[in-house]
Structure 1
Amino acid sequence: MNFFKPVAAVALGAALSASTAITAFAADTTLVISSWAPPTHGMNAKMWPKLTKMIEEATEGRVTAEIKYKLAPPPAQFDLIQDGAADLTWIFHGYNPGRFVATQLIELPGYQGSAEAASVAYWRAYEKYLKSANEHRGVKLVALHTHGPGQLHSSTKVTELDQIKGMKLRLGGGVSGAVGDALGATGIRVPAPKVYETLASNAADGVMMPMEGKKGFKLTEVAQHSYVMPGGFYRGSFALIMNQEKFESLSKADQDALMTVFGEPASRMAGQVWDEIDAIGVEATESTADNSLNTASEADRKAYDAIAAPIIEAAIKAATDKGVDAKAAVEFIASDMAAN
């Protein structure tokens, strides 16, 4: 019998597999991603892998990325990147009160549409109106995005707006903090990774988060009931950022390639991912026996519009004071979202 052909075929196949593996991992540069949510969170499980693939494809494999966890707490991520301790991260602007003002214009109540539509409108508004505030100075801005509509999740069922008064709620900062105050809730500020233990220990009665949190932060176990305001009580503002020196250390070809990914394409992708994980959160709520979804009545929607009006006015004034045409920016965002 002739054993040569099958043995040779196996050897050739192994060689080709090894060659493919080497090609796949032979990047010139591996960017270190710092991430602070659990590895199972959709942004880590879905968004970063998608962005890494976009980077690899744009640079023809010369640049890739890998995630590392627990390099710094959420509020310290901006400084971590600025100092060069990691190359890429995502930040929630509300974790740094006073540092970001213009970014609150995307967080306002009243916008209608998906996280994808909001994220694309956000980037476009940044390019047109918000860039002048220069709030991300010191780092390379990769993308801007929002989460889906922020809703109330609590261990006790809430079906009417006035039931929120007096509740102790974990609030993430930014506009969500102003919303909690306006509704008469006592705000408790802890980063998202601490939400589960905060609710499990009864230190808070509930939390305002997008529907994603029902799955991503296991709220189905500790905040079983969701009170849903159509359009959301607010939206969260995020940025993907990169160390400026790291970006500049890349070849001109790779910088140009990354710029075809950064900006609106990356912003759109991040918004799409959030829509996907929000849908997973809704499904988790609907499929868990002791959980419930409770939509605000028309009367409560109108009441909330009135409550939200001063919050919107204050955010517009604060951004205007920083030299941003804030009223035009808000109108632009609403119009762009409605068109997409």
Structure 2
Amino acid sequence: MFDFTALRRAGAAAAAVALLAAPAGAETLRLAHWVPPQHTLTASTIEPLIEAVAGSGLEIQVYPGGELGAGPLEQYARVLTGVADIVWGLQGYTSSQFPRTMISELPGALPEGMTGYDLIWNAYDAGLLADEFPGTVPLALWLSEPNVFIMRDHDIRTPADLAGLKIRVSGSAAAAAVEALGATPVQMPAGEIYNSLQTGLIDGVITGASAIGDFRLDEVANSYTIGAPLGRISFYLVMNAEVYNGLPEAQRAALDSIAGRPLSASAEAGWNARAAQVLEQIQAAGDNTVIFLSPEEAAPFGELTYPVRDAVVASIDGGAEVLATMQGGN
């Protein structure tokens, strides 16, 4: 894991490196991510961004699968140091950098009927999250579909079913929920889940259902539980601020036409659509246990995870204000 404090100190120098590394006029931007091209990210987020800037003289060259660096935990560092101009990543992989943003991931943080991207942008636009994104311009911030249990040889119907199990999580929010449920959280990048489930290093995963298809987890998992209040996963697509500010006005305007809530809405819709598709597929396969919890069956999970939300919010300086602003209370 990189030293984010050191990155803050080196921000100005790193941004300068990024600017010098860009082509003259910044007509071509390098967008780096670490998942395969067929991942949901491409159709939901990257392609709309490329389409929005088409005709402006600005081109976006995509480097998938870790071509500009294989470690997903270092994504934010790459955009600051000029390895890439735009990067996609998960806040949870470097949770200590994003304590306020990750309030959005907590169980019960997202009110019924509200979108995840509105939740995050409400706080960002109010100036409550800017310190967590130094040196960059967020192009999209959004949440995944609800987290579910993805298990190998373990059916989860009650919190007691989790006792002693090792559950992979993507960040600190899910880790706190897993501990409250009596299991042991194991943090690792999504690309390591397949082998870890297959070999028994972990017993299961908490993540969105879209990941089942995007990372072929249906090949190594056989039991899924949907409906427990487990929160969601937050994502970012950010651009180096110096590179952004150095673009000609027409090219910045092209980016601005989709950056923010519009691109975030497209991304989140793509994640939700992929999740619905995957859930249909695993049910139709006929060789899986798929458990949909009723509200009454989900309640015992909430009795354990909702207090985690309250405790985490209380532990963060200004956390209550952030949550209230996210939910539209301020």
For the criterion TM > 0.5, the same-fold answer is yes
Quote the Cα distance in structure 1 between the aligned partners of 2:111 and 2:282: 22
**8 A contact 1:153–1:226 mirrored in 2:** yes
1:89 and 1:213 mapped to 2: Cα distance? 19
Which secondary structure state, in structure 2, belongs to the residue aligned with residue 37 of structure 1?
coil
Residues 93, 174 of structure 1: 8 Å contact kept: no
Q: Alignment partner of 1:262: what SS?
A: coil
**Residues 1:200 and 2:195 are matched in the alignment:** no
Letter in 2 for 1:238: F
Q: Distance between the aligned counterparts of 1:104 and 1:45, measured in 2?
A: 25
Aligned to 1:267: 264
1:40 aligned residue = 38
* Count, aligned residues: 301
- Shift in Å, 1:323: 7.3
Partner residue in 2 for 1:248: 245
For residues 191-340 of structure 1, what are the structure 2 equivalents within 5 Å?
191-229=189-227, 232-319=229-316, 321-322=317-318, 325-332=321-328
Farther off after superposition, 46-55 or 243-252:
46-55
- Report what 1:67 is aligned to: 62
Q: CA deviation at 1:192?
A: 0.5
Return the offset for 1:306: 1.8
1:322 offset after TM fit, Å? 4.9
Q: Structure 1 residues 300 and 129 mapped into 2: Cα distance closer, same or farther (>3 Å)?
A: farther
Sort the Cα spacing of 1:46 and 1:249 in 2 relative to 1 into closer, same or farther, 3 A: same
For residue 204 of structure 1, what is the amino acid of its counterpart?
I
| Alignment CA distance shift 1:175-1:210 (3 Å) | same
Residues in 2 aligned to 1:299 and 1:158: alpha-carbon distance in whole angstroms: 15
Q: In structure 2, do the counterparts of structure 1 residues 129 and 296 end up closer, same or farther at CA, with 3 Å as the change threshold? A: farther
Is the 8 Å Cα contact of residues 154 and 205 (structure 1) preserved in structure 2?
Answer: yes
Q: Secondary structure at the match of 2:95?
A: coil
- The CA distance in 1 between the partners of 2:225 and 2:127, in whole Å, is 34
Deviations 1:125-179 (A, max 9, x none): 3212633x51001111111101100110101222223201211111111311111
C-alpha distance in 2, partners of 1:327/1:95? 21
Match of 2:151 in 1: 154
* Aligned mates of 1:219, 1:113 — CA distance in 2: 28
Cα distance in structure 2, aligned partners of 1:324 and 1:183: 24
Contact 2:44/2:267 (CA < 8 Å) preserved in 1? no
- How do residues 138-153 of structure 1 correspond to structure 2 at under 5 angstroms? 138-153=135-150
Of the two, which has the highest radius of gyration? 1
The Cα of 1:248 is off from its aligned counterpart by 1.8
Q: Which range moved further: 299-308 or 324-333?
A: 324-333
Change (3 A) 1:204 1:183: same
Task: Report the Cα distance in structure 1 between the residues aligned to 2:51 and 2:296, rounded to whole angstroms.
Answer: 46
SS of alignment partner, residue 81 of structure 1: helix
For the structure 1 residues 324 and 31, does the alpha-carbon distance in structure 2 shift closer, same or farther, using more than 3 Å as the test?
Answer: farther
**Contact map agreement 1:129 1:329 (CA 8 A) in 2:** no
Cα separation, partners in 2 of 1:324 and 1:254, compared to 1, 3 Å: farther
Give the counterpart letter for 2:45 in structure 1. M
The question of whether the paired residues in 2 share the 8 Å contact of 1:220 and 1:284 is answered with no
Distance 1:256 1:46, change over 3 A: closer
- Which 5+ residue runs of structure 2 have no aligned equivalent? 1-24
Q: 1:33 to 1:257 in 2, by over 3 A?
A: same
User: AA paired with 2:159?
Assistant: L
Tell me which residue corresponds to 1:6. Answer: none
Partners in 1 of 2:206 and 2:60 — Cα distance? Answer: 32
Contact persistence 1:87–1:246 (CA under 8 A): yes
> What fraction of aligned residue pairs are identical, expressed as a percent?
27
Equivalence for 2:12: none
Contact 2:121 2:326 (8 Å CA) reproduced: no
Measured on the aligned residues, the alpha-carbon RMSD in Å equals 2.2
Could you state the TM-score of these two structures normalised by the residue count of structure 2? 0.84
Indicate how the Cα distance of structure 1 residues 290 and 112 shifts in structure 2: closer, same or farther if over 3 A, else same: farther
Q: Return the offset for 1:113.
A: 5.0
State the shift of 1:112 in Å. 4.8
Q: 2:26 & 2:168 partners in 1: Cα distance?
A: 43
Structure 1 residue aligned with 2:164: 166
